[in-house]
Amino acid sequence: MNGRLPAYVDVAIVGAGFAGLGMAIRTARRGSESFVVLERGDSVGGTWRDNRYPGVSCDVPAHVYSYSFRPPGDWDSLFADGAAIHDYLERAATDEGIRPHLHLNVDVTETRWLPDELCWAVSSTAGELRARVLVVAVGRLANPMVPDFAGVESFPGKVFHTAQWDGDAPIDGARVGVVGTGASAVQLVPELARRAGELVVFSRSAPYVVPRGDRQYSEAEREHLRVKANADQLRARLFSEADKAFAQRRGLHPAIDEIRDRALGHLHAQVSDPGLRADLTPNYEIGCKRILLSDEFFPTMTSSHVTLEPSALAEFDGSRAVAASGRSFELDTVVLATGFEAARPEFATRIVGVGGERLSEHWQAGMVSYASTAVSGYPNMFVLDGPNAALGHNSAIFMIETQIDYVLGAMDHLSAGGPIALEVMAAAEQAYTREIDERSASTVWLSGCSSWYLDPLSRRLTLLWPGTGQSFRDRNGTFDPYHYERVWAPDWVDLPVS
C-alpha cells in the first residue's frame, strides 16, 4: 500500500525483510510512535522475496526461524521452503496492520543527520521525510556479488545470479553451469541436475556438507504445534540444541572432531570414486565457512551428466566458460551462486552522520558498532542484522529479535520526556570492537580460510557474533543508556507533533 509519505515520523524503518518487518510489528503494537517502512522491492520478505531459485529453502528449522512474538506458523516439515517463508512474512504484514505504514518500490537514496533539527532527513525516490529515529534493516544478503568475468559479453547465453532468477533461461535439456558451492548452490544443484542435459559445477573451495534430515510433520504433530505453548517449547529446544554447536566453532574437542567426522563420513558414504571424493574434500577447518545441509548434493555430483570442475570460473570465451584450471565447457546458461556483498554494505554509502561523515567512511576498515546495533557519530540510528549480529550456527531471527528489544529500549528512553537524541560514545564503540576481537580470536572463523564473515581488508570478523545466540542476548538484549551521549531538545528545536 503506497500512500503519500508523511513529512515527519518518529521512526523510519528502511527495509521490509524479517528485520524491518519485525521492527514494524513491535513498534505498531506499542502504539506510541508514528512510523513508516520504506522498501525498495515490490513486496515484503527481503531475501525470501528475492531468492526464487529452484530448491530455495531454509536450513534452520522453521519453528525457530520465525517470529517468537507471532502465532506459530503452520509448518508442514522441519525446514520450510522459500515460498512458505515469504507467505509467512506477507501474512504477518497483513495480520499486524503494517500495510498502511508500508511504502513499497521506494528506494532510500540518502539519509542525513540534521544537527540543527536533531533528526534524520530521509531522501527517497518517493520524496523526503524527517524521522527522529532511523532503523536500518536493509539485510546482509541484499546485494548479489557478481564477479567481473572477462569476456562475459561474448557469451551468447544467459548469465544470472541465484537471487535474480531468470525463469526464461534455458534449463530443461540444456548445458548449464553453476558457479560456487555455498549454501545456495547445494540447494540449487540437485534441482538443476533433474532438468539439465549437462551440468557443470565450478567449485573453487569444497564445502563441508552434513545430512539434512528433513521430515514432514504428521497431521497430529501439526495439530499439536498449532498451540503456541507447544510451538514455544519446540522453539526453545531447537534453539538450545543449535546453540551447543558453538563449541565446534570455538574449535573445542571433541565437538569439532565429531562434526568434521560427520561431514567427511557423509561424503565417504555418498561418493565412492576416489578422485571425485578428493575434489569434494575441503582443505580448511570445518565451520570456517558455513556448514551446509544436504542429502542430495553429493549423490547429484556422482551423476554421469554432472561434472565437478574443481577450480573457479575464470572467464568466458564466446559460448565457452573457462575455468582457472584451463579446462573449458560449452554452456547455454550460467547461474552465479556466488553470494552477496555482505561485509561492505552498499547502503552505508547513503548514510551521512554527524560532521558529514558517510557510514562507509566510518567503516573503511570494516564494520564496527556498539552492541552490534548503534554506531558512534550516527545518533538515533540503529542497524539490524549488521555488524557482528549474524550467526553461523543458529537462527538469525533470534538475533534480530534481540536487537529489536534493544532498539525499543532506546525508544522508551527517547519517549519518556527525556532526551531526543542518543549517540553512542566513541569509547564504547572502541571497547566493544576490542571485545569482539577478543571473543573471535579463538574461533574457527579466524583459522585461515577466506569467507564473507571476515572483512576483506582488515580480516576482522565483522559479520558474525563470536558467541552463542544466548550470549548475544545476555550482552546486547537490553538498552544500556550509560554508553550514550544524551541530547535534550534546546529551545530552538521545534519538535514535530506526531
List residues near ligand NAP by CB under 6 A: 58-60, 141, 147, 162, 179-185, 202, 204-205, 289-290, 312-313, 337-340, 450, 452
Cα–chain-centroid distance for residue 418?
34
CB-based contact 34:11 (threshold 8 Å):
yes
* CA dihedral of 182, 293, 384, 428, whole degrees rounded to 10: -90
Least distance to ligand NAP from the beta carbon of 64, Å? Answer: 12
Least distance to ligand NAP from the beta carbon of 449, Å? Answer: 8
Instruction: Decide whether 203 or 380 has the Cβ nearer to ligand NAP.
Output: 203
Instruction: Decide whether 213 or 490 has the Cβ nearer to ligand NAP.
Output: 213
- Phi-psi group of 356: left, alpha or beta (phi > 0 → left; psi -120 to 50 → alpha; rest → beta): left
Least distance to ligand NAP from the beta carbon of 174, Å? Answer: 20
Helix or strand (DSSP H, E) at 210: strand 209-210
Instruction: Decide whether 130 or 290 has the Cβ nearer to ligand NAP.
Output: 290
Instruction: Decide whether 86 or 101 has the Cβ nearer to ligand NAP.
Output: 86
Amino acid at 177: G
Strand 313-317 with 320-323, pairing: antiparallel
Listed in sequence order, the residues at least 6 apart from 227 whose beta carbon sits closer than 8 Å to its beta carbon are 72
Instruction: Decide whether 208 or 382 has the Cβ nearer to ligand NAP.
Output: 208
d(CA 152, CA 159): 8
Instruction: Decide whether 128 or 330 has the Cβ nearer to ligand NAP.
Output: 330
Instruction: Decide whether 81 or 110 has the Cβ nearer to ligand NAP.
Output: 81
The cell for 69 is: 512474538
Query: How many CA atoms are closer than 13 Å to the CA of 36, on its beta-carbon side?
Result: 25
d(CA 451, CA 459): 10
Least distance to ligand NAP from the beta carbon of 419, Å? Answer: 37
d(CA 386, CA 360): 13
Q: Is the dihedral of CA 69, 75, 79, 81 positive or negative?
A: negative
Instruction: Decide whether 134 or 200 has the Cβ nearer to ligand NAP.
Output: 200
Least distance to ligand NAP from the beta carbon of 380, Å? Answer: 29
- Of 357, 396, 355, 389, the C-alpha closest to 372 is 389
d(CA 259, CA 210): 8
d(CA 324, CA 327): 7
- Of 287, 299, 491, 481, the C-alpha closest to 394 is 287
Instruction: Decide whether 347 or 452 has the Cβ nearer to ligand NAP.
Output: 452
Secondary structure (DSSP) of 450-484: --TTB-TTT--B-SB-SS-HHHHHHHHSS--GGGE
Least distance to ligand NAP from the beta carbon of 72, Å? Answer: 19
Least distance to ligand NAP from the beta carbon of 204, Å? Answer: 4
Instruction: Decide whether 184 or 402 has the Cβ nearer to ligand NAP.
Output: 184
CB-based contact 375:362 (threshold 8 Å):
yes
Burial tier of 153 (Cβ tally within 10 Å: 0-12, 13-18, 19+)? exposed
Instruction: Decide whether 385 or 429 has the Cβ nearer to ligand NAP.
Output: 385
Least distance to ligand NAP from the beta carbon of 108, Å? Answer: 23
Least distance to ligand NAP from the beta carbon of 213, Å? Answer: 14
Least distance to ligand NAP from the beta carbon of 329, Å? Answer: 13
Least distance to ligand NAP from the beta carbon of 102, Å? Answer: 25
